[in-house]
Structure 1
Amino acid sequence: MNAPLPEAAPETPLLAASRRNALKLGLLGLAGIGTPLLAQGAPRFTHGVASGEPGANQVLLWTRYAGDSDTVLKWELAEDAAFSHVAASGDCTASPANDGCAKAWAKGLKPGQWYHYRFIAPSGETSLTGRTRTLPQGKTAKFRIAVFSCSNYGFGWFNAYGHACEAGDFDLAVHLGDYFYEYKRGVYPSEKQGLGERLLPVDETVTLDQYRERFRTYRADPDLQRLHQLYPMVSVWDDHETANDTWKNGAENHDPSEGDWALRKAMSERAYREWLPVSDDDYASYEVGDLATLFRLETRHIARDQQFDLDAVFNGAAPGQAEAALSAFRDGQWRNPARELLGPAQQGWLAKGLKTSARARKPWQVLVQQVIMGRLAMPQNLAEGMAANSPAWLKKRMQSAVAAARNGLPMNMDAWDGYPAARDRVLKSSLEAGANLLVLTGDTHNAWAFDLDHRGQRVGVEMAGQSVTSPGAEDSVPWRKPDALAADLVAANTQLKWCDTARRGYLALELTPKAAVGEFRFMATVRQKGTALAGVKRMTVLAGARKFSV
């Protein structure tokens, strides 16, 4: 049974004013400075509350109290909204050194129970009341997860968060990365694409202060605040929390003029861990009673080798030799067994965890991770209908994608497709463990459902959720009608069972001992604020089947 929903935060005058005056401020060059100003003035709670890292007997609590000196806050966690039965309490410190963020572990809790929590300042001021839940222990009949990814503030309203909050019936929220985007204003989205009332900070995130400023901007959004207020969250970073196409020693969106990469990466990690209810563990597992084990993976900062550039292979070939160059690349560099995504330590940890979970007869082994694991090549007719006056670079990109597919190569070298040997290691370890793999994925902005196999043996399924706001193929391949493109993609890829390339929203996942049902929920719009749905698509996998039901 769900606990009652606590009251939402009233809209702050600053946020209301920012919506009314965003365009005016933008013309004056002043927009984007408002959110950091929340730290100025009298000390106060500024960004609501949050919880995460749930276990059967503990949960991590978070708030932000902005002041000019260290402030000791009291926290309370209770079995009821009136706090008449306090189950745990303690102190934590909000410090300017951590941008005013404070975290505390509440321990000694009961499994599978809803709790309410709050923070209290020395002045007597009380934070919002949050609602959280511990993970169940033992027999578990059902567990519901709201799955999100790719939330770009400038492209639209976070209506998917708002819908999940209105639903009120999830046990856990999971964010698969791209919680925010690092670009400077006017890049992604461009000035033409962006909403005038949702202006981003002026500069790209490179320094610690800039990463913190980006969090302050995003976390001022009322739907995101409400999501954190109502549900515990398990979250992973993808690339944009640091820079586009991050790998262990660099990123596509980083150059020497922006300073040392290792420092930039460390600052992004520090801000992420300050502003979110996450532990300092790069990867972790979560036991959902006798029903499932969730494995939170890290695929960016620790071990990932640099992504291949397929366009460079295609464009760098001698005249008339592009096909031969792609074939040589396919049989050589692309298959290099030394290339890593997880790294030996994480891979060994995952293999051991899969065995332990399967031996405990848990029906589901769930990977909470960032990038698509299924094999995905582009259809041969991808460029059909593209305007003759399209930019030369775009024509070249389409030629490269089609030629790659013709030579047995995928398009997205940033996904597991760019690391086939690393993927084989994961799938093989799952088979050896006897696991029923359910892979949750974000990153691409589109919705996908794959049957996963390893050399013909069924391994499990992948549910890759669509973005909260970031545009999908309707933006990158606008000349193709979404339904036709989806049909061509499914026809061209044997593992792909369904996809949607044009709508935003989130994935509602329900786990039971007999089945896992993923409901892809599509928002009617992200350009106006509202929680109406345009439709849903359900995909079901039966326990032990390791493939989607027809």
Structure 2
Amino acid sequence: MHSLFHRRDFIKLAAGMTGASLLSRPVFATSTRQGFTHGIASGDPDARSVVLWTRYVGDGDTALEWEVARDTDFSAIVQKGKVVARPKSDYTAKTIADDLPAGAWFYYRFKAPDGTYSDTGRTRTLPDGAISSLKLAVFSCSNLPFGYFNAYGHAAAQGDFDLAVHLGDYFYEYPVGTYPSKEQSVPGRHIEPEHELIHLADYRLRYNSYRMDPDLLALHRHYPMISIWDDHEFSNDAYRDGAQNHDPATEGSWDDRKAAASQAYFEWLPMRGRAYARYDFGDLASIITLDTRLTGRTKQLPYEAVLQGVDTKDQKAVIAAFTSFRNGPWADPARTMLGTEQENWLADTLASSKQSGQRWQVMAQQILVGRSYVPPSLVAALPDNTPDWLKARMQGAALAASVGLPLSTDAWAGYPAARSRFLQTLRENADNAVVLAGDSHNAWANDLYVGNAQSPTQNPDAVEFGGHSVSSPGFEAYIPLPEERITADLLAASPELRWANTNKRGYMAVHITPETAQCEWRFTGAPSTRAPDLTNRHTMQVRAKKGAGTNTLEAV
């Protein structure tokens, strides 16, 4: 993302490391297995149906049978059918089990022509009517070479969630040795292919690698999943017409690459093929998924471009450049995050949810809406041995903040007019709007305001639970300061920010009742070791209210 730090900054840090270790080959082979190769998965449920998925490698098209039952012995089968695993779909097989009872848990499996069975999975339909509780396990940013997916393993073992929600960056498109470098990679966590993903075969093989991880297999086996893509399922900092990490001169058409990545995504994930959708949980809540990447987003405006040709040692010149940018390109109302069609769909969908009597409207989307700023005090606290490039980057971010520019131009704050439209839509069409976000690798809790959060004239327009990553590094990998100092300075400089953690990995456990929407940020051990246990947690909540906007967040 375009912000204080970039992926190449991490590579700079890696270049200064010693004690390089060679990447080992994977403990699981990816390309020669036969039969059921990647377990099972389910997802994209509604009140009467759910998508079932498996992968079966045979000698050609293979007809599989599937069964849905109320018990693990499959003595009480409620639905069954057939589906074909085809080479042209990378041997994946996906079907919709429909005409199921609402609000019920089921078990499912597939059967091959030779009589062998797949693993047994557990799934559910969404409830109708009055319900009192909804529990979500929310994930984002899982980079396999950076380490183990302890968050997946912990959530799978709990068994008490209604649904898994993945907010994107299910994998990363980089070649072996880039984010992470070979020195930073955890031995045994190898990915295929070794080159960057560009073509359909590349994206398929990367899914093949990731979907052999035992903790990801367990997560898919235990819960149905609602997933949305972010940028790395395609290419870094993707937008409608391109990506920061895509060069048409050497990598071909962006439309072709985007189509290949999208095809592989829907082949390998148990989703129906929609970029955005609504999921109803009785009278309690609607989960509304959005696409902030490919459907309507215009190109990001990175700060590097603002400072091209500017003497960065001249503080007045830098501030003048940032001020001109703030008043011009940055504020342009034509710049969009969702696109007009999706914006209109969102307004109608929110209004429908509210009118149907649902208490909560939950936005499951990719990127942070809350605005964060880098204060001069954080720059002043850097130790003397901080690399010059890092000092310069943080000084620039602090000068940008001095004229009201945010930490990230890739997040919603980098599109201020679109952000205002989004929050105004929430205020006008939802009484209790909660935003879920991933992407940043760090944990955040924000009260969200259209206007000046420093002197708000009304209650928040919405609240935000920003999720930390499964394994991708956060600020701890960049800023050589104690986490407590980083978060304290960010909190002091960022009026919307209510809490943050910038050095731990894990996932969010979101619990919604008629009275409250509560988020527990669960922190797992360092991803360098497979240890799916919690090391810490932090909980905040918002109480339901009547009327426009939301209450403010409070600690629990």
Cα deviation 1:82-117 (Å, max 9, x = unaligned): 111111111111011111101000001111100000
* 1:410 partnered with 2:380: no
2:478 corresponds to 1:476: yes
Distance 1:142 1:47 in 2: 32
Q: Is the 8 A contact 1:50 1:62 kept in 2?
A: yes
Taking the aligned partners of 2:442 and 2:148, their CA distance within structure 1 comes to 17
Alignment partner, residue 18 of structure 2: none
Structure 2 residue matching 1:383: 3-state secondary structure: helix
Aligned match of 1:441: 437
User: Which amino acid letter does the alignment assign opposite residue 44 of structure 2?
Assistant: E
2:268 alignment partner in structure 1: 275
Matches for 1:289-308 after TM superposition, within 5 Å: 289-308=282-301
Does residue 243 of structure 1 match 2:235? yes
Q: Which residue of 1 aligns with 2:426?
A: 430
- Whether the 8 Å contact between 2:26 and 2:188 is mirrored in structure 1 is no
Which residue of structure 1 aligns with residue 11 of structure 2? Answer: none
Q: 1:286 Cα shift?
A: 0.2
Q: How big is the shift at 1:315?
A: 4.3
CA contact (8 A) 2:419 2:450 kept: no
Identify the residue that residue 326 of structure 1 maps to in structure 2. 322
Q: How far has the Cα of 1:281 moved from its partner? A: 1.2
Is the alpha carbon distance of 1:390 and 1:434 closer, same or farther for their aligned partners in structure 2, counting shifts above 3 Å? closer
Equivalent in the alignment of 1:126? 117
Query: Counterpart in 2 of 1:88?
Result: 79
CA distance in 1, matches of 2:201, 2:79: 34
Cα offsets for 1:107-149 (capped at 9, x unmatched): 0111110000000111111100000011111000101000000
* Offset of residue 225 of structure 1: 0.4
1:17-416 alignment to 2 at 5 Å? 26=23, 31=25, 35-39=29-33, 43-201=34-192, 202-255=194-247, 256-318=249-311, 319=314, 320-388=316-384, 390-416=386-412
Regions of 4+ moved over 6 Å:
none
Shift of 1:524: 2.3
Q: How far is the alpha carbon of 1:67 from its aligned partner?
A: 1.9
CA distance in 2 between counterparts of 1:117 and 1:309 reads 47
Shift of 1:508: 0.3
TM-superposed CA distance for 1:389, in Å, is 5.1
AA aligned opposite 2:148: W
Which has the higher mean CA deviation after the structures are superposed, 302-311 or 269-278? 302-311
Q: Normalised by the size of structure 1, how large is the TM-score?
A: 0.92
The aligned residue for residue 546 of structure 1 is 551
Match in the other structure for 1:528: 529
3-state SS of 2:368 partner? coil
How far has the Cα of 1:372 moved from its partner?
0.2
Task: Give the superposition deviation at 1:249.
Answer: 1.1
Aligned pair in 2 of structure 1 residues 412, 134: CA closer, same or farther (>3 Å)? same
Q: Deviations over 1:183-218 (max 9, x none)?
A: 111111111111011122311111111111110110
Cα pair 2:143 2:171 within 8 Å, conserved? yes
- Aligned residue for 1:36, secondary structure, equals coil
User: Which stretch of the first structure deviates more once superposed, 210-219 or 454-463?
Assistant: 454-463
Q: Provide the rounded CA distance (Å) in 2 between the counterparts of 1:465 and 1:415.
A: 14
What's the offset of the Cα at 1:375? 1.2
Deviation, 1:258, is 1.6
> Given that residues 200 and 217 in structure 1 are in contact (C-alpha distance below 8 angstroms), is that contact kept between their aligned partners in structure 2?
yes
- C-alpha root-mean-square deviation of aligned residues, in Å? 1.5
Q: How many angstroms apart in 2 are the aligned matches of 1:454 and 1:411?
A: 17
The answer as to 2:446 corresponding to 1:450 is yes
Would you say the 8 A contact 1:183–1:204 is kept in 2? yes
Give, in whole Å, the separation in 2 of the partners of 1:280 and 1:188: 29
Encode CA deviations 1:135-183: one digit per residue, 9 max, x unaligned. 1110001010000000000111101101001111000000000000111
Deviation at 1:527, TM superposition (A): 1.2
Shift of 1:382: 2.5
Paired-residue identity, %: 47
**Alignment deviations for residues 270-325 of structure 1 (CA, whole Å, 9 cap, x no partner):** 10000000111111000011000011101111111110011221343255411111
Cα deviation, residue 345, structure 1: 0.7
| Aligned residue identity for 2:552 | K
Separation in 2, partners of 1:382, 1:94: 55
Gaps of 5+ in 1: 1-22
Render the CA deviation track for 1:497-535: whole Å, top value 9, x for unaligned. 000000000000000000011000001221111122111
Superposed CA offset, 1:369-391 (max 9, x none): 00000111112222234354544
Unaligned runs of 5+ in 2: 1-20
> Counterpart amino acid of 1:275?
W
